[in-house]
Structure 1
Amino acid sequence: MTRIPAPKDEAELAAVVRDSSEPFRLEGLGTKGALGNPVAASQVLSLRNFAGVVVYEPDELILEAGSATPLKQLEKTLSQKGQMLAFEPPDFSSLLGASTSGSLGGIVACGLSGPRRVRAGAARDHVLGFSGVTGEGVAIRAGARVVKNVTGYDLAKLATGSYGTLVAMTSIIVKVLPKPETEETVFLRGVDDATAMRLMSEAMQSPADVSAAAHLPGDGTYLRLDGIAPSVAARRDRLVKLMKRDAGVLGEKESAKLWTGIRDVKPFWSLTTSSIWRLSVAPTEGASIAAAIMQKLDAAHFYDWAGGLIWLAVANSEDGGESVIRSSFTSGHATLVRAPEAIRARVSAFTPQPAALAALAARVKHSFDARNRFNPGIMVRG
């Protein structure tokens, strides 16, 4: 694959896109190349020069940074002011075999959110705007450095999760939030999947203000509380009483380590030959869906997002388990995150869209990238 010299600024990027007769695979730090379907392009267009903090206004809870800015750099900058990216972006480097945790642009382009999604919302809820270049080589800017922006269409939400098919983002504006003073995790042992779903639902609906809920079969059910120390202690005691069963508590350091592992899919790091799936489903149906799949496949699983996210590691399956997984539920979607090359070559990473939705997506794609220059095939196979 040919690597084009990385454009130094937005004007040069726009010129490269306008002058090309061939499509590109867009790349920031190169850590998310295994996500999505293989891109049908023979040249790589790197955005690595669009890096660094552009504007950071801690009092306004606003940050704008280049799309190739490393996440670790942003987290360090925010932490110095006691702030964070509240959607808790995951680090899939160990899962995907990448050397770094990646960039802000990669996280936004793939629409990735961590355990805090159940309380703080998804990545798209925290992206306020962006600058970039369309597939026609036109520089655009969408959104603004304000939390409330209702002028025109919310293009930032369209770009988030589009896997670089609509626009080559050069900078991104995000909302940031105060970092909790401390955290604790209430855990329950010996709970089956169905009971865990019920308990997590009760916890999320309680006044305890749980910020994350996960269940690791054979290990435990985990409920995170964070905020100022007196509040965490009071809510912990209330939550333990609500659960009506023996419960343990993880202190701040142990809690942080646990949730970093859940966020980054650590339970599956050692399963190097398995196909890894993430299923977004209704939390009330999570246990029954997983049970149906586990009856037919050699697989391991765990739950995040209070049961709304099921992680699956499937072994010894010619199609990575696709036929079983995608026929096990009707509401939701299953994404193939990692698989051997032979499986990736023939199994779509994304659940096929209904005809009406696919037609709408095609019109949106055409409006940004009529020549199909950006990441062709990554979301919809040609």
Structure 2
Amino acid sequence: MDATFKPRDTRQVEDAVKWAAGEEQPLEIVGHGSKRKLGRPLQAAHVLDLSDLTGIESYEPAELVLTVKAGTPVAEVEKLVSDNGQELSFEPMDYGPLLGEDPGRGTVGGVLAANLSGPRRIKAGAARDHVLGMEAVSGRGEIFNSGGKVVKNVTGYDLPRALCGSFGTLAVATTVTLKVNPKPETSATFLLGGLDEAAAIDALCRAMGSSAEVSGAAHLPGGIDGEAGKTVLRLEGFETSVDYRFKTLEKLLAEFGAPARLAEAESGALWRSIRDVLPFAGSQTPVWRVSVAPASGPRLVELLKAKLDIRAFFDWSGGLVWLSCDDGGIHETEIRAALQEAGGGHATLVRADPSVRSTVPVFQPQPAPLAALSRRLKEQFDPKGILNAGRMVAGV
């Protein structure tokens, strides 16, 4: 009989995992299910539902430290820290709209399992860089703790970093301690219009190499969001500093044209749209997330547009390319070949039917030595292969 376990604390998670390991019964690990359509479809008869494992365990604004249970909604955490003049600087994206789900349903555990980060990653780092400590249950049914609850404590960082991005295949996180940061006083967006992709990425890379302390760098070609093309740079901080850095960019990028300036409210809406890939939400066309060297992004898109009906926009100064295959095809062979020709990188199939995700490698295939290391890591944490089995790689 299929079973759904809804633990309320770490001990109950331990009990469920021990049972599954003893019976060799695979478990699907979910929070609120907002990212269930990411990765390969699972064939698990039983569900470990963490939606009741929720709540703030401790929050010390003066110490910039927050400890929460893994099933706590990200929206709840963001409101709490915002009310205290702080933020999650890695700016976790919300996959809900892109995957046809309601927005705002993601949990802290899900964010870390997928290592989600938004446009500010180019300045603040990824989600894994903000984890101070973690309590989790391995696939052996063993509780372990790693890291600490103070910013200066670096002991044990490696283990939480290994779990981030593992999509729940190594262990079940139950409690997480995060570093938070002061929220900027204000923000503005430096906007250039009319640039082609090569010129846009050139402008973004120049800005990133300057002293302007850019916290977002993206290019949306004309028509991608129903508007004219725009190349955008985000500036955050004290108002006088933002004004000064805006003028710095104006001089540095003068050859690309006169900029417009988006004030805080309009700027915030734009970057949320970029963060959550809203230009590609509301449809069912396959979507790829491609990581490349920033300067290689335009070449990749050029190669693909010569063969395929695709739309693309760029984040992370060109290092993150979102592709929508508007003809409905998956084009895995063409995309990975173009990626290799453009200099290499990683291509992840984000949105596609379950039947496709079960046959096409969703994540970038690993070189043999790295694949062997991944298997050994899985064997150490989850020797019976019960946690989200096959979510990332078939048979692992």
**One-letter amino acid of the structure 1 residue matched with residue 358 of structure 2:** A
Match of 1:135 in 2: 139
Quick one: which of 312, 319, 326 aligns to 2:323? 312
The CA distance in 2 between the partners of 1:70 and 1:198, in whole Å, is 38
Aligned twin of 2:230: 220
Q: Percent identity?
A: 46
Q: Which residue of 2 aligns with 1:263?
A: 275
Distance 2:347 2:40 in 1: 14
Which of 232, 244, 248 in structure 2 is aligned with 1:234? Answer: 244
For the pair 1:19 / 2:19, whether they are aligned, the reply is yes
Q: Is the 8 A contact 2:132 2:179 kept in 1?
A: yes
Match of 1:362 in 2: 375
**SS of residue paired to 2:394:** coil
Deviations 1:221-257 (A, max 9, x none): 0000010111101111111111112111101111001
Once the two structures are superposed, the pairs formed by residues 1-382 of structure 1 within 5 Å of their partners are 2-20=2-20, 21=23, 22-101=25-104, 102-152=106-156, 154-218=158-222, 219-244=229-254, 245-270=257-282, 272-318=283-329, 320-330=330-340, 331-382=344-395
Question: Deviation string for 1:195-218 (max 9, x for gaps)?
Answer: 111100000111111110000012
**How far apart in 2 are the matches of 1:153 and 1:72?**
25
CA deviation map 1:270-316 (0-9, x unaligned)? 3x121011001000111101111121111111000000000001133
**How far is 1:348 from its partner?**
1.6
**Alpha carbons 1:83, 1:177 under 8 Å: kept:** yes
SS at match of 1:210: coil
- Structure 2 Cα separation of the partners of residues 264 and 86 of structure 1: 16
TM-score, length-normalised on structure 2?
Answer: 0.93
Q: 1:273, 1:315 within 8 Å by CA — same for their partners in 2?
A: no
Three-state SS of the structure 1 residue aligned to 2:337 is: coil
* CA distance, structure 2, for counterparts of residue 317 and residue 343 of structure 1: 12
> In structure 2, how many angstroms separate the alpha carbons of the residues matched to 1:103 and 1:360?
29
2:155 & 2:232 partners in 1: Cα distance? 41
Distance (whole Å) between structure 2 residues aligned to residue 258 and residue 3 of structure 1: 43
Unpaired runs of 5+ in structure 1?
A: none
- The letter for the 1-side match of 2:215 is S
Whole-Å Cα distance in 2 between the matches of residues 186 and 46 of structure 1?
43
Aligned 8 A contact 2:148 2:155 in 1: no
Residue aligned with 1:93, SS: coil
| Uncovered stretches (5+) of structure 2, i.e. residues with no partner | 223-228
Amino acid at match of 1:192: D
Please identify, of 334-343 and 104-113, the stretch whose mean Cα deviation from structure 2 is larger.
Answer: 334-343
Instruction: Report the alpha carbon displacement of residue 49 of structure 1 after superposing the two structures with TM.
Output: 1.9
Cα distance in 1 for residues equivalent to 2:86 and 2:155? 28
- Corresponding residue for 2:226? none
Contact kept, 8 Å, 1:187 with 1:250, in 2: the verdict is yes
Distance in 1 (alpha carbons) for counterparts of 2:81 and 2:310: 38
Moved more, 145-154 or 256-265: 145-154
CA deviation map 1:148-181 (0-9, x unaligned): 3343561010011000011111111111111111
Task: Check conservation: 1:23, 1:373, Cα contact below 8 A.
Answer: yes
Give the distance between the partners of 2:260 and 2:219, measured in 1 at CA: 14
Structure 2 distance, partners of 1:337, 1:42, is 24
Matched residues in 2 for 1:19 and 1:238: separation? 61
